[in-house]
Structure 1
Amino acid sequence: MNTVLITGCSSGYGLETARYFHAQGWNVIATMRTPREGILPPSARMHVLPLDVTRPESIADALEMAGPIDVLVNNAGIGVVGAFEATPMAHIRKVFETNTFGVMAVCQAAIPMFRARKSGVIVNVTSSVTLAPMPLAAAYTASKQAIEGFTGSLAHELAYFGVRAKLVEPGYAPTTRFSQNTEVRLEDLIPESYAGFAEPILEGFATPALVTKEQDVAEAIWRAAGDLTGQLRFPAGLDAVALAAA
């Protein structure tokens, strides 16, 4: 029976992906910074572990407790919306610590296990902003673009050992708690000088023409994990698929 370890399972894409893999009969290691009770189905195949991707000791402990895994899904991420000019560097660094360096750290810790077994899959979750950068998300976009390049290069390195690396690019999901972990208020990042520019954009965020559902992402991660064709990128959601086609 295959085992998947997923980061960022307390809500959103990670939570739905944990449920999806479990429904397919997999063993699931659902990780999150602070484990929450009752959000995942009780089962001998569902295990919840603490994992903070910004802390090396937390990563090491989680991988040791998880044991052998077949698929690693790097889903944990945070965002920040606002004018770049008004975004404190402390918040930008926080976004990169989770979205970029956290993903790299988990990969680096897991790769020796995959390499020794000459099998395994790494699925890194980025965003459709890597397909079409959006305004008021410069730091977030940069953090996800870095993982796009990183994963492309990693796929070449690991193929030699029979290990695959994939990208899943979700579209816009209004239900995700995009910037809750940055501890910064949106109004603090939209200076008066940007108000006229930002207002219609924020209205568009509130009423998007196309949205990505959490199950869209879970299904794309599932397809990426099982893909043997060499395909690197898997857009998830109608809006992301449309952007990729364009």
Structure 2
Amino acid sequence: MKVKVLASGSKGNSTLIRTSKVKVLIDIGINYQTLASELEKLNLTPNDLDAILITHTHSDHIKGLQVLVKKTNLRVYALEEMLEELSKKIPLDNIFIYKNPFEIEDLKINIIRISHDVEGVGFIIEHQNHSLVYITDTGYINRRYLPLMTNKDVYIIESNHDEKMLMEGPYPYILKQRVISDKGHLSNNTVAEYLLEITGTNTKKIVLAHISEKNNTEELAISTTKNLLEEHGIHKDIVVAKQHESLEEIEV
């Protein structure tokens, strides 16, 4: 299984998961031209995709959905609670409701309910003996999921804001309160504490995602997690997913 973050941030999110048998997108918050350009680098086209997994219906995660489905007639996997919003953009016949777990070819997928201001999910994706956790846009992670998330090969996980930068930054008070709420976004400190608990000997890569352009920096996000892990003798490869530049593909 290979994973490539195509874009990550408040302006658009999309990630490609692929094996020799299947190619799946997580979210399509980028336009069709950008997607096609990124896939071309891998000698793929949008017509090579098999399905899209929707995390939630905020525009930075689905704004490219209508055009992509119109051009490719892809299967779209989503929560039942997303149907009303998605049906404004694509035919209901294209939408498949998540089961838990479910399979797409040789991928086994478990959903993790997130805590955001709309209903949404993250994923634990397994292929053969390897596994990936993908979770962003959540105010916290329900502790009942942590055992399921422990000691995975790769984590793509939100590290949205530095708490000090957020509180001293330009956002209006009401927006600051939304970001730090249980239905907001994970801070650098919070995700570092989660990763301290769930990373293990199998973990080879951590991708910090959905970095705020106004309330965080790549250096702060990496150093917060890196320093906490290393204080406990844990050394991992940590990178940041970018808004305007795709990451190098990762072999899970």
Q: TM-score range by the shorter chain?
A: 0.3 to 0.5
Per residue, is there more strand in 1 or in 2?
Answer: 2
Q: What's the TM-score, normalizing by structure 1?
A: 0.42
Per residue, is there more helix in 1 or in 2?
Answer: 1
